Amino acid sequence: MKIKDDFWIGLLAGAASFGLFFLLLSLIPWGDPYRRAPYLLAFIPGIILFRMLLVKWHMDRAGRGILLVTIIGMLLVFFLFK
């Protein structure tokens, strides 16, 4: 089965990878100085998936969707959690 190279699929994949990994990281008790850590660490699977889509599978549109979710999410974490 071939995966379609679509921007919306990239947005969904980026959001899903962030959500699932964040749920796993939220099970760890983080201290108060590290309250941003689970949010920032949850973006790592999206970055890895972004690189795989662009370099290995040549899916530019889906990679751009994942990149958009990652950048907007990181900006939200930095501006909302001071």
Average pLDDT over residues 24-39: 90
pLDDT over threshold 80, residue 1: no
The model carries a pTM of 0.87
- Residue 3's pLDDT band, with cuts at 50, 70 and 90, is confident
Average pLDDT over residues 56-74: 94
**Mean of per-residue pLDDT scores for the chain:** 92
- Residue 2's pLDDT band, with cuts at 50, 70 and 90, is confident
3-state DSSP assignment of residue 17: helix
C-beta separation of 47 from 70 below 8 A: yes
